[in-house]
Amino acid sequence: MIAIFKREINSFFTSTIGYLVIGLFLVLNGLFLWVFKGEFNIFDHGFADMGNFFLMAPWIFLFLVPAITMKSFSEELKMGTLELLFIKPIAIWQTVLGKFLGTLTLAIIAIAPTFLYVFSISELGTTVGNLDMGMVIGSYFGLVFLVANYTAIGIFASTFTENQIVAFIWGMALCFFMYYGLEGISSFLSNGEHAQNVQKLGMKSHFDSIALGVIDTRDIVYFFSMTLFFLFLTVIQLKNRNR
């Protein structure tokens, strides 16, 4: 598993993919938060908080993570090397976990430089340092959990086809459905209790909950469960392809 993890990290940074993903994430956030005029602009927003960043980051990652994961197993299928995974002295789940951790690490590296935003916004407040750090820390935890879910979904989508573009579209569609789609469906339900139950199946409600600064075990269990669920589906899909 460690070998797979290292190979994934090396593949990201020996090509332009890793630098492109990190650069694109930081540039997009930087432009919308500090340069472009609009509701996301820190100066136009009027409040020294990180709310706009955590509102925008899940949507940017919704496109970027499937773009990273689309080659995870699609490339193996296209090159005809998937069968080699089954004769290696490591289990399939270790291969899947190695690829998952490699992609997740890249996403965390992309998030890390945004800690500079915390310092900058803290200094911009009318009262310097008047920033709700509990909410900021909770939001960062929620973002990492959310990206872990995106990564598991993207890797699962890459097992469907050898076409990386199709894998990207599948991954993006599944991530969108799990993040916002279920909440959209809940708005059409007339029964309030049913609507709330459907909404809780989606990632957005749990991410929003953690972003309030309250680390609820139910939200943590949800994110861990969803990540493990899609990784389990990935292993099952790969084993079915080997039959």
What is the rounded CA–CA span in Å between residue 86 and residue 82?
7
Residue type at position 216: D
Hey, what's the torsion of the CAs at 141, 143, 145, 149, to 10 degrees? 180
Q: Looking up tokens 């909410």, which residue turns up?
A: 135
> pLDDT tens digit string along 65-114?
999 898 888 887 777 776 677 677 778 888 899 999 999 999 999 999 98
Highest mean pLDDT among 5-14, 77-86, 148-157: 148-157
What is the rounded CA–CA span in Å between residue 161 and residue 78?
8
What is the rounded CA–CA span in Å between residue 18 and residue 121?
27
Please state the pTM of the whole predicted model.
0.90
DSSP letters spanning 194-215: HHHHHHHHSHHHHHHHHHTT--
